[in-house]
Structure 1
């Protein structure tokens, strides 16, 4: 009896391998995330040094955005069939190869479309928060919201926090330097994932973090016997027939429009309209990125404790308020008002991800990662729509003020959709104290 007690006590004191898997997945997400903003960084140098047009570069960017969203659900199905480690390693290796290709082959717009549009779009699309959701679902029962927040924060670090470093490298060493740096990060992450990542807890002879070893049913990857393509399409068809999916999809469409579609595409040009120098605008974007880290981890922690649908409605509402205020405080210099905006917006920027993943997990069960992948496609569609619409409005009106106001209105609509989801029935705990498992949507 004492020996058994000692083993259990030692197990409780030890760090569960789920946290190690979270760290390895975070490295992969950081490396993939570093690619997502690099096109905007090297656009001007490519225009000036290579003589390319912005329209030609825009073709590659459009292809990248489409693949970034479309690849994710298929990647999730491939991870279920062939394992997290194989697919993540392949995607990171593809990103490394793409960087080598661009800096070693004589650059032209055709190569850039292949590199940024096809290769990077596919590689980063395979390592998005759909990958993070798969890792969290596969390895956690308790603290799953916190794990999701950590993984989301890692992706944000790659997207925004790395930007000043990449910008400095480009300033001193040309546009090749950030491309090589991103390739090195992807190569290092591929090595870490190949050596350390495991596909599921049963590979180590354990159960998920916080799971009861006698009742844990989530210890094996689902859908391994079904072809990835057929499973992904089956889940899509099931989602399209589910009104709860459409609520989440519409919220994430509006989420993408009021985050990526605004900040990645229009914040720097808007800052230029107000007389702000590019380095100052980049610093504010980096501040948004650092605030993202606190926001996503806090959101994950809250998702473990508060109704996620209420969180979504609250996040969207406050985000809308910050966008409505922005036109009144935009100046040519970084001042306390803009710093406050950057921190507030950054905290709310991707805080919507952990509660959305939690809702997908609750609504769609074993197919939740794929369902979230299709929800995320709508996020990218919203981002692309706002990127185009914002430019049209700026050309017609001569100012970005209507764009920020429209963004605030869209956030309010998303908050209403979040409130509507609270009226959807959710399973109640059984009388014996256990909660009914979320079913597969298939």
Structure 2
């Protein structure tokens, strides 16, 4: 079968810039973990109040996803990225004048949550579907790993900026990072392969063009796709287990790990370094997960990933929080941080078709962020009322083990494309 001649494919540049956009969005969402103690010291706000803003931001980060996916079809991937980055930059920049808890909730919870939701995992799924005919699992793994790389790049710097208890340098650094990316997207990201007179990466030259859509894409397409997907068991399986994924990653560890380490006498910079180590190993683990997803049953991979994650969280409260034990946890947990994304995306693609899959994955991501929001707020409440984070980590570990057992127990989501 004839294929296009080998040359630099614009899809590679699109992936590189999308990787940066997802990285900066993840950096913004990880910043509240660094801001928690400085804001507590500067304003006297309690940890539950500060956690509420983080929880709202995390929830909106997911809730915006399916609508953003629909907008990417009608409004365009490029324009949606630009709007999200601009809102992230403006909201975080404005937060330097906050003085009341509702200011923090508005800027870092509501506005930045909406902006970062437009530059989230659904963006990666849309880019992969539009620009790649082959290697979709590998590329999705790489883009998913960018969220952990955001912690790898941002957290040590942000922790260093806040080392003396200052919080304004943190918000300005995040705002500037988002603003810098806007011209790169504006000038270097084409909307479609056809805009560069090419086909999707790996697509045969004689492949017929995709048929035109039967209806115009609007934000209501997100609701219609949800209604169609909600009639299938596979959707509820993916949404339920991804709720657990959020509960056990960015909502708990991403938001509270620095404060948890602080309870054991570990300085914020050292704790941020621990999260960065997790991010480094997740870059390896999630990219490898994408490679494995192209070759093996994604259901079996998910059973393994959730089981290992649950065991690591169950063990964490019982370690001595010394350098050796924390390093072991960071490596073991980091390899599995968000390795669940590529197989989950593959199951969505298999089950819901090329048009609906990114939107349905957006709704699955809503469940993920609901779980993350529960953990972000709930862990803060547990710490405030019980004086320890241990019960929160034990509960999260138990949920992860339960998610693993769901896949081991014989639930088999076959290809079940819902008719449009």
Q: TM-score, normalised by structure 2?
A: 0.91
Distance 1:63-1:406 versus aligned 2 partners, 3 A rule: closer
CA distance in 1, matches of 2:230, 2:86: 33
Q: Give the aligned length.
A: 418
TM-superposed deviation, 1:193: 0.8
Aligned residue number for residue 327 of structure 2: 339
Higher RCO (CA-CA < 8 Å; seq separation 6+): 2
Out of 411, 429, 438, the position equivalent to 2:400 is: 411
| 1:25 aligns to 2:46 (yes or no) | no
Q: What does 1:233-248 correspond to in 2, within 5 Å? A: 233-248=223-238
CA distance in 1, matches of 2:395, 2:43: 37
Out of 147, 150, 156, the position equivalent to 2:139 is: 147
TM-superposed deviation, 1:148: 0.7
TM-superposed deviation, 1:326: 2.2
SS in 2 for 1:227: coil
* TM-superposition CA deviations, 1:236-260 (whole Å, max 9, x none): 1112211100000111011111222
CA distance in 2, matches of 1:389, 1:62: 9
CA distance in 2, matches of 1:421, 1:125: 33
Greater Rg by CA? 1
RMSD: 2.5
Conserved? CA contact 1:208–1:218, under 8 Å: no
SS in 1 for 2:203: coil
Q: What does 1:102-121 correspond to in 2, within 5 Å? A: 102-103=95-96, 105=97, 107-121=99-113
Aligned residue number for residue 435 of structure 1: none
Distance 1:94-1:249 versus aligned 2 partners, 3 A rule: same
Out of 279, 292, 300, the position equivalent to 2:290 is: 300
Q: What does 1:328-367 correspond to in 2, within 5 Å? A: 328-331=318-321, 333-335=322-324, 337-365=325-353, 366-367=355-356
CA distance in 1, matches of 2:104, 2:389: 30
Distance 1:301-1:219 versus aligned 2 partners, 3 A rule: farther
| 1:383 aligns to 2:335 (yes or no) | no
Q: What does 1:154-193 correspond to in 2, within 5 Å? A: 154-171=146-163, 174-193=166-185
CA distance in 1, matches of 2:261, 2:331: 17
Out of 164, 176, 197, the position equivalent to 1:205 is: 197
| 1:86 aligns to 2:79 (yes or no) | yes
Distance 1:265-1:61 versus aligned 2 partners, 3 A rule: closer
Contiguous gaps of at least 5 residues in structure 2: none
Conserved? CA contact 1:80–1:224, under 8 Å: no
CA distance in 2, matches of 1:69, 1:420: 28
Out of 335, 341, 359, the position equivalent to 1:370 is: 359
Contiguous gaps of at least 5 residues in structure 1: 427-437
Conserved? CA contact 2:251–2:374, under 8 Å: yes
TM-superposed deviation, 1:125: 0.8
Distance 1:262-1:254 versus aligned 2 partners, 3 A rule: same
Aligned residue number for residue 54 of structure 2: 61
Aligned residue number for residue 432 of structure 1: none
* TM-superposition CA deviations, 1:9-68 (whole Å, max 9, x none): xx5431222111100111111121111021221233233334445454344333322211
Conserved? CA contact 2:138–2:291, under 8 Å: yes
Deviates most, 397-406 or 109-118: 397-406
Conserved? CA contact 2:73–2:217, under 8 Å: no
TM-superposed deviation, 1:71: 0.6
Conserved? CA contact 1:244–1:421, under 8 Å: no
Aligned residue number for residue 227 of structure 1: 218
Aligned residue number for residue 310 of structure 2: 320
Distance 1:218-1:251 versus aligned 2 partners, 3 A rule: farther
* TM-superposition CA deviations, 1:304-357 (whole Å, max 9, x none): 1112111111111122222233233232x322x221111110110100011111
